Amino acid sequence: MGTDTTRQPPDRATLGRYGETLAARYLRDRGLEVLERNWRCEHGEIDIVARDGACLVVCEVKTRRGTAYGDPVEAVTVAKALRLRRLAAAYVAARGVRPEQVRVDVVGVLCVRGRVPEVRHVVGVGS
């Protein structure tokens, strides 16, 4: 991903927002339309809601400074993928949209000090 900086954000919350910004840019660059970021309801939060053609895409973004605990995308468990499916249903109901398909994706952002951030997009987790 061609990012103009290798500086890391100072704290965890800022790192998460930075990763979400990179993920949204990455998805847009690949033709997805980002509809919303950080959509919340009583059941939780969706980091990014996007559209890929007729498909509604719910994206979980995981940002890490290193791989000591594995690749960032590995942080999304089966339970988390199922929760994202429930959140997708809540989003569809709340917004009154009728997508042909709904998909759950994970975008991992690896921000290693002194290196350009790496973005990894896993399409259709927990399907």
Per-residue model confidence (pLDDT) at position 2:
47
Residue 111 CA to residue 104 CA, distance in Å, equals 23
Per-residue model confidence (pLDDT) at position 7:
57
Handedness of CA 51, 4, 12, 124 (dihedral sign): positive
Per-residue model confidence (pLDDT) at position 9:
55
Q: What is the pLDDT along the chain (127 residues), one digit of tens a residue?
A: 444 445 555 677 788 899 999 999 999 999 999 999 999 999 999 999 999 999 999 999 999 988 888 888 988 888 999 999 999 999 999 999 999 999 999 999 999 888 999 999 999 987 6
Residue 13 CA to residue 10 CA, distance in Å, equals 9
pTM score, whole prediction: 0.87
Q: Where are the chain's structural domains?
A: 12-122
Per-residue CA distances from 114 to 6, 21, 111 (Å): 5, 19, 9
Per-residue model confidence (pLDDT) at position 29:
97
Per-residue model confidence (pLDDT) at position 56:
97
- Check: CB of residue 93 under 8 Å from CB of residue 43: no
Per-residue model confidence (pLDDT) at position 50:
98
Residue 30 CA to residue 48 CA, distance in Å, equals 15
Domain 12-122 CATH class label: alpha beta
- Check: CB of residue 53 under 8 Å from CB of residue 73: no
